[in-house]
């Protein structure tokens, strides 16, 4: 096989390459697509190499290979589930490299509608590539699940017949085709998503073709998808979060000077593991910190002794706090040059007229600061006023005409304030805390630059897209705030049956945290 043909075959080197069809290159007339393109096109890797490539995933890899089964053996549907960045997609793709089995991969992140998902699968099975010569059209138009079943049967039958009769250039392992659908949890957000999910889970029973294996990849556990449709439940394989030692093995794997990087991880990895254990977030933060760590060194191949480790840590220590704060940005927006965020910051500094903001004497991530403010507001404000406090524009409408208070009303207000002080902070459920947090976090930046409303609307949608991925991190921050006694659990409500929380921070500390974020806390406080 020529080099050009080899590069054509290895089109599955990334997880999205098979599902993204808009940027496909023009087909090569000298190498028309064949059934051989349904594999990775690379040399099959050994099991030992596969296991060493994924630290902490030995049991998951062996379970997946066992569930896929021997050559040409019918397999029940399998679902891989776990949090983001736990290696689900990478593991399943490399397992198929090891087994050298033909498969079709589609992601519900790029194929964001049922039609795109169905046509992506059919295009790969029919060896069809979108290009200018065919008007970037799919091989078959498919909008309905019933049409997809019929077209899928025809395409599978054609592929299986080719696998049985054609002598391929490379030996294909087996006469089965596997369908891998990634990010199936995103289907719940689609129009009629529940129906599509039930269809995917019952697809094996509907087709009744033993030559098709189905593997689903989800960020949610299988319990979320259970229904009374009567289909066979997929066999689950759980991918837990990486432990600190497993993360250390992952980051050390491709390092040239392992001793130097191990010394760096000794001081940098543990603080970040308390915040997040997602590999891509840790990789971004640790790569910038490692450059700071190595600045005093002229020779990066040196093996550091204890004295050098102390000097390198002293050089790194001032940068850890700022880098920790960047890991939990409430909204990840790019900043190029003099960006909108910088212009807002300059505007806020100029509005302070040189007054220095109070500096917190302890480190806290941006997300935790917003949670602390949300807890303070939930304890301070009556729950009945949340709708008027936190409207779509963020905060109360201060344009309402204020009446002149009488002496009697002033006395009532003072008595109410004294009574509130005697009662102390009120308790609140977790749902209310998260609702207030989402409101103040999503509009916190917009309060600093109201002159740029159009850009603010675009950024609000970006926050909504990230909110699902952040939820597990936010719950971790709530637990951390309770451990630090910024919040306490005040028991459970007998009517609601849920745990209630209470803020333990003073108004002065809340104002100091709000100033560090340039957040207008007084706008959200209810004054009796």
Burial of 159 (0-12, 13-18, 19+ CB in 10 A): buried
Query: Residue 105 has what pLDDT?
Result: 93
Q: Which residue has the higher pLDDT, 62 or 283?
A: 62
Question: What is the average per-residue pLDDT within 142-161?
Answer: 88
Place of tokens 């006023």: 385
β-sheet with 235-239: strand ranges across = 103-107, 177-182, 212-218, 78-82, 235-239
Strands of 184-296, DSSP E: 212-218, 235-239
CB atoms within 10 A of CB 482: 15
Place of tokens 């090569």: 28
Query: Residue 143 has what pLDDT?
Result: 86
Q: At what angle do helices 244-252 and 279-293 cross, to 10 degrees?
A: 60
Handedness of CA 180, 185, 186, 189 (dihedral sign): positive
Query: Residue 455 has what pLDDT?
Result: 45
Query: Residue 410 has what pLDDT?
Result: 67
CB 87 within 8 A of CB 57: yes
Token pair listed for 270: 């543990």
Token pair listed for 347: 């505007």
pLDDT digits (tens, 9 = 90+) for 58-110: 999 999 999 998 888 888 899 999 988 899 999 999 999 888 888 999 999 99
141 alpha-carbon distance from chain centroid? 32
Whole-number Å distance between alpha carbons of 225 and 140: 29
Query: Residue 204 has what pLDDT?
Result: 86
Question: What is the average per-residue pLDDT within 153-181?
Answer: 76
Q: Are strands 212-218 and 78-82 parallel, antiparallel or unpaired?
A: parallel
- The residues facing 182 across adjacent strands are 107
CB 80 within 8 A of CB 54: no
Token pair listed for 213: 């294996």
% of residues, the chain, pLDDT over 70 = 68
Residue 148 in 3-state DSSP?
helix
Whole-number Å distance between alpha carbons of 24 and 320: 42
pLDDT digits (tens, 9 = 90+) for 5-18: 444 434 344 443 43
Whole-number Å distance between alpha carbons of 177 and 184: 19
Query: Residue 127 has what pLDDT?
Result: 86
pLDDT digits (tens, 9 = 90+) for 475-494: 778 888 887 888 888 765 55
Question: What is the average per-residue pLDDT within 452-470?
Answer: 45
Instruction: Using pLDDT thresholds of 50, 70 and 90, give the confidence band for residue 462.
Output: very low
Query: Residue 232 has what pLDDT?
Result: 73
Whole-number Å distance between alpha carbons of 216 and 180: 6
Instruction: Using pLDDT thresholds of 50, 70 and 90, give the confidence band for residue 326.
Output: low
Which DSSP string corresponds to 154-207?
Answer: HHHHHHHHHHHH---SS--S-S-EEEEEE-GGGGGGSTTHHHHHHHHHTHHHHH
Query: Residue 214 has what pLDDT?
Result: 92
Res 395 pLDDT > 60: no
Nearest C-alpha neighbor of 175 from the set 160, 154, 153: 160
Whole-number Å distance between alpha carbons of 292 and 312: 9
Query: Residue 63 has what pLDDT?
Result: 94
Question: What is the average per-residue pLDDT within 374-379?
Answer: 88
List alpha helices for 69-113, DSSP H.
Answer: 88-99
Q: What is the mean pLDDT of the chain?
A: 75
Token pair listed for 362: 């302890």
Instruction: Using pLDDT thresholds of 50, 70 and 90, give the confidence band for residue 321.
Output: confident
Place of tokens 């529940």: 194
Radius of gyration of the chain (CA): 28
Res 238 pLDDT > 90: yes
CB 46 within 8 A of CB 61: no
pLDDT digits (tens, 9 = 90+) for 402-418: 455 566 766 666 665 55
% of residues, the chain, pLDDT over 90 = 14
Residue 352 in 3-state DSSP?
coil
Question: What is the average per-residue pLDDT within 196-217?
Answer: 89
Which DSSP string corresponds to 50-61?
Answer: HHHHSTT-HHHH
- The CA angle 422-428-433, to the nearest 5 degrees, is 125
pLDDT digits (tens, 9 = 90+) for 494-514: 555 567 888 888 888 888 888
| Percent helix, percent strand, percent coil in the chain, to nearest 5 | 50, 10, 40
Question: What is the average per-residue pLDDT within 112-125?
Answer: 90
CB 285 within 8 A of CB 272: yes
Which DSSP string corresponds to 444-476?
Answer: TTGGG-TT-HHHHHHHHHHHHHHHHHHHHHHHH
Query: Residue 175 has what pLDDT?
Result: 80
Whole-number Å distance between alpha carbons of 139 and 126: 7
Whole-number Å distance between alpha carbons of 167 and 220: 41
Instruction: Using pLDDT thresholds of 50, 70 and 90, give the confidence band for residue 22.
Output: very low
Instruction: Using pLDDT thresholds of 50, 70 and 90, give the confidence band for residue 140.
Output: confident
Res 435 pLDDT > 90: no
Burial of 478 (0-12, 13-18, 19+ CB in 10 A): buried
Res 180 pLDDT > 90: yes
Instruction: Using pLDDT thresholds of 50, 70 and 90, give the confidence band for residue 287.
Output: confident
The full length of the chain comes to: 528
């Amino acid at each position: 096989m020529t080099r050009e043909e080899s590069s054509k075959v290895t089109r599955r080197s990334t997880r999205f390459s098979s599902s993204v069809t808009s940027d496909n290159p023009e087909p090569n007339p000298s190498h028309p697509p064949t059934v051989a393109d349904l594999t990775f096109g690379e040399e099959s890797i050994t099991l030992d190499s596969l296991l060493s490539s994924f630290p902490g995933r030995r049991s998951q890899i062996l379970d997946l290979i066992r569930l896929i089964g021997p050559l040409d053996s019918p397999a029940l549907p399998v679902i891989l589930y776990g949090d983001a960045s736990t290696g689900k997609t990478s593991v399943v793709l490399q397992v198929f490299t090891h087994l050298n089995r033909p498969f079709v991969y589609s992601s519900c992140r790029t194929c964001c509608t049922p039609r795109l998902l169905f046509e992506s699968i059919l295009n790969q099975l029919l060896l069809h590539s979108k290009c200018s010569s065919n008007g970037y059209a799919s091989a078959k138009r498919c909008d309905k699940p019933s049409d997809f079943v019929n077209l899928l049967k025809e395409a599978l039958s054609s592929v299986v017949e080719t696998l049985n009769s054609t002598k391929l250039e490379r030996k294909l392992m087996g006469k089965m085709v596997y369908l891998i659908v990634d990010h199936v949890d995103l289907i719940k957000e689609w129009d009629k998503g529940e129906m599509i999910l039930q269809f995917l889970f019952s697809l094996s029973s509907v087709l009744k073709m033993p030559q098709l294996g189905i593997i689903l990849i989800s960020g949610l556990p299988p319990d979320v998808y259970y229904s009374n449709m009567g289909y066979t439940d997929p066999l689950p394989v759980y991918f837990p979060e990486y432990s600190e030692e497993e993360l250390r093995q992952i980051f050390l794997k491709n390092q040239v000077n392992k001793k130097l990087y191990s010394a760096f991880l000794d001081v940098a990895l543990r603080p970040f593991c308390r915040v997040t254990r997602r590999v891509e977030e840790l990789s971004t933060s640790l790569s910038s910190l490692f450059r700071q760590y190595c600045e005093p060194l002229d020779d990066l191949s040196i093996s550091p002794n204890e004295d050098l480790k102390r000097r390198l840590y002293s050089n790194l220590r001032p940068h850890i706090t700022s880098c920790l704060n960047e890991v939990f940005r409430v909204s990840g927006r790019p900043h190029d040059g003099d960006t909108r965020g910088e212009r807002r910051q300059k505007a806020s500094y100029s509005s302070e007229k040189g007054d220095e903001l109070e500096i917190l004497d302890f480190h806290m991530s941006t997300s935790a600061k917003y949670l602390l403010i949300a807890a303070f507001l939930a304890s301070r404000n009556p729950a009945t006023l949340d709708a008027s406090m936190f409207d779509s524009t963020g905060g109360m409408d201060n344009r309402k005409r204020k009446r002149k208070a009488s002496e009697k009303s002033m006395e009532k207000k003072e008595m109410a304030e004294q009574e509130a002080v005697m009662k102390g902070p009120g308790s609140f459920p977790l749902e209310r805390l998260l609702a207030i947090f989402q409101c103040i976090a999503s509009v916190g930046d917009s309060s600093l630059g109201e002159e740029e409303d159009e850009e603010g609307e675009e950024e609000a949608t970006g926050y909504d897209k990230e909110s699902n991925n952040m939820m597990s991190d936010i719950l971790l921050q709530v637990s951390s705030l309770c451990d630090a006694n910024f919040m306490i659990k005040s028991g459970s409500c007998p009517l609601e049956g849920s745990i209630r929380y209470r803020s333990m921070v003073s108004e002065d500390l809340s104002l100091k945290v709000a100033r560090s974020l340039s957040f207008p806390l007084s706008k959200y406080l209810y004054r009796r």
